[in-house]
Amino acid sequence: MNSTSSAPLQRFLTGITTTGTPHLGNFVGSIRPSVAASRLPGVQSFYFLADYHALIKCDDPARIQRSTLEIAASWLAAGLDPQRVMFYRQSDIPEIPELTWLLTCVTGKGVLNRAHAYKASVDKNEAAGNDPDADVTAGLFMYPVLMGADILMFKAHKVPVGRDQIQHIEMARDMAQRFNHLYGEHLVLPEAAIEESVALLPGLDGRKMSKSYDNTIPLFTPREQLRKLIAGIVTDSRAPGEAKDTFGSALFQIYQAFASESETAGLRQAYADGIGWGDAKQMLFERIDQEVAPMRERYQALIGNPQEIEKLLQAGAEKARAVATPFMGELRRAVGLRNLASNAPAAAKGKVAKTAAPAFKQYREKDGRFYFKLLDADARLLLQSRGFDAPKAAALAISALQKEGSTALAGLQDMLETAPGITQGELATALAFFSASQD
Ligand code: TRP
C-alpha cells in the first residue's frame, strides 16, 4: 500500500574493475564526476567494486585484494557517502553470478563473438598465425554477460561509462529485451550515459593518462613524490621569457582539470608572458596538492584501517542484497525454477506473481490520528509510527523513509518506534528495498 507520491528516482550504476591503483586520470574522468552526481537529488547511485571482472584480467590474488582496498578507500576519501549510495563489492552479491547464468541462456553466442575485447584477442591471434582462441579464457568471452547481470540486477536506468564500454551496455539491453520477451517484463533496459564534457587527462608523456602507457600520476602518491612526477611532465624546449603555447601542452591541460576558470586564465597569461617551465610545474604541483592533500589524509587513514572498509562493504552488501535477493526470487520463478509444491499458474507467459516484499500500511485510529507501520516480506512488524495530525504528514514521513532509507530515521525519531526484537540492520535492509526498487 505504498500510496505516497514519490518522484521516480533515476538509478545510476557503475562498476570499477579492481586491478590497479587509481590515478589522476581516474579521479578527473570518473571518481570526481561520480561523487558529484551521487549528491544530486532524484538520483540513486550504485557503485561497486567489480572484483569478479578483475579475475578475468589478473591472476595475482594479492593484487586483487590490494586493489580492492585501494579503490574502495579512494572513492570514500573522495567523498562518496555510503549512507547515501549503494556501495558494495560484486563478489558479495551471489545473485549476480546467478543472474549471469540466466542471461547466458538468452544470449546468442554469435553476439558474444562480436564483443570488441574478445574479437581483438582473436584478431591478434589470427594475425600472428596462432589458433584464434589461443590464450583466450571463457571468462573474457563471458565478460559482457557478467556485466549485463551487474546492471540488470539493480534495474539501472543509466550507466555512466567510457566510450569503449558502449557496446557492453547495448548487449545488456539486448539481453534484457530477449529475457522480457520470453518471460515477461522483469528487466529494465539500461542506457549508456557518456559524459561528453569530462576531460581526458593527458599523462606524463602527453598521451592519454593510462596504466597501459605507464604514464600515470597515482592519485594519492605522497606530496614529494607528486612533485617529482610533475617535474617529469613533457614540455617543449622553450626557455624562460619565451612565450609558450597552451595548445597541446599536457601541463596546461592537467592544470585546467583542477583549476577554476580564473586560475586557468592566469596560467594562460603566464604562458603568454613567458613563464619558465619550472615555475609552471611548481604552480601545477601546488594546485593539485591543494585539492588532493585533504583527501590523501583521509585515504591514508582508511588504508590503515581495512576492517573499517570491510565493515562498510558488508553493510553495503546487506543493502544491495535486500534488493537482489527478492528480485532474483522473482526471476527464478519467472523462468520456472520454482518450488514444486507451489501451484504456479501453468506457463503463464509474461505474468508472474508479485514477490512478497516489505510494505508500509497506513491507517486511521479511533483517536482520529493517522498512523503507519512497516512490515517485512513475512508481514512481521518492523516499525510503528505515532499518530500524525494529518494524513499528508504521515505520507511525507513514509516517502522520506522510502527515498532515503535509514538516513531518514534520525529526523523522524520522535514519531517512530522500532518494534521489539528488530535490529537496526533488519530495518535498514527493509528500507533499502524501497529506495532501490522504485522504477
Ligand atoms: N567493464 C567496466 C570497465 O572496465 C567495469 C564494469 C563491470 C562495469 N561491470 C560494470 C561498468 C557494470 C558499468 C556497469 O570499466
d(CA 53, CA 55): 5
* Ligand 1 atom closest to Cα of residue 13: 14
Sheet architecture: strand order including 416-418: 359-364, 370-375, 381-385, 416-418
Q: What pLDDT is recorded for position 434?
A: 84
Entry pTM: 0.77
270 confidence band (pLDDT: 50, 70, 90): very high
Percent of the chain clearing pLDDT 70 (strictly above): 94
Percent of the chain scoring above 90 in pLDDT: 79
- Residue of 31, 57, 103, 147 to test ligand 1 pocket, by largest number of atoms within 8 Å of CB: 147
Query: Is beta strand 359-364 parallel, antiparallel or unpaired with respect to 370-375?
Result: antiparallel
User: Which residue has cell 585546467?
Assistant: 256
Q: In the numeric block, which cell numbers belong to residue 304?
A: 590503515
Q: Is the CB–ligand 1 distance for residue 151 below 6 Å? A: yes
Query: Tell me: the pLDDT tens digits for 359-373?
Result: 999 999 899 999 999
pLDDT in tens, 224-236: 999 999 999 999 9
pLDDT score recorded for residue 3 = 40
Confidence of residue 439 (pLDDT cuts 50, 70, 90): low
Higher pLDDT, 136 or 433: 136
Domain parsing of the chain, residue ranges:
10-200, 220-302, 356-437
Q: What Å distances lie between residue 38 and 45, 84, 86, 192, CA to CA?
A: 6, 8, 10, 17
Q: Which residues contact 253 (CB under 8 A, 6 or more apart)?
A: 199, 201, 202
Confidence of residue 197 (pLDDT cuts 50, 70, 90): low
161 in contact with ligand 1, CB cutoff 6 A: yes
Tell me, what's the pLDDT at 388?
95
The set of cell numbers assigned to 98 is: 546467478
Please determine whether the domains at 10-200 and 220-302 fall in the same fold group of CATH: no
pLDDT of 74 strictly over 50: yes
- On whether the CB atoms of residues 397 and 372 are closer than 8 A, the answer is yes
Q: What is the pLDDT of residues 303-329, one digit of tens each?
A: 999 999 999 999 999 999 999 999 999
Q: Which atom of ligand 1 is nearest the CA belonging to 150?
A: 12
Could you tell me the CATH superfamily of domain 220-302? Tyrosyl-Transfer RNA Synthetase (1.10.240.10)
Task: Give the pLDDT score at 344.
Answer: 55
The pLDDT value recorded for residue 379 is: 82
Lowest model confidence (mean pLDDT) among 159-173, 315-329, 339-353, 390-404: 339-353
What is the predicted pLDDT for the residue at 131? Answer: 97
pLDDT at residue number 348: 47
The response to whether residue 26 sits with its C-beta less than 6 Å from ligand 1 reads no
Comparing 196 with 425, the larger pLDDT belongs to 425
The per-residue pLDDT of the chain, averaged, comes to 92
Continuous segment of H or E residues that includes residue 272:
helix 261-272
What is the pLDDT, as a whole number, of residue 173?
97
pLDDT at 196 over 90: no
**Ligand 1 atom nearest 147 alpha carbon:** 9
For residue 199, pLDDT over 70 is answered with no
Report, as an integer, the average pLDDT of 377-391. 90
Is the CB of 156 inside a 6 Å radius of any atom of ligand 1? no
pLDDT of residue 1: 40
Q: Where is average pLDDT lowest: 65-74, 134-143, 178-187, 413-422?
A: 413-422
> Which is more confident, 431 or 277?
277
E strand map for 63-102: 86-89
- Determine which residue's CA is closest to atom 4 belonging to ligand 1: 17
pLDDT tens column, 39-56: 999 999 999 999 999 999
What single-letter DSSP state applies at residue 368?
S
Q: Which CATH class is domain 10-200?
A: alpha beta
d(CA 83, CA 95): 22
Q: Find out whether the beta carbon of 140 lies less than 6 Å from any atom of ligand 1.
A: no
Best residue among 116, 150, 164, 171 to mutate for probing ligand 1's pocket (most ligand atoms within 8 Å of CB) is 150
Ligand 1 atom at minimum distance from 16 CA: 5
What band does 437 get if pLDDT is binned at 50, 70 and 90?
low
Average pLDDT over residues 291-301: 97
Query: Which residue has better confidence, 242 or 409?
Result: 242
Q: Which atom of ligand 1 is nearest to the CA of 53?
A: 7
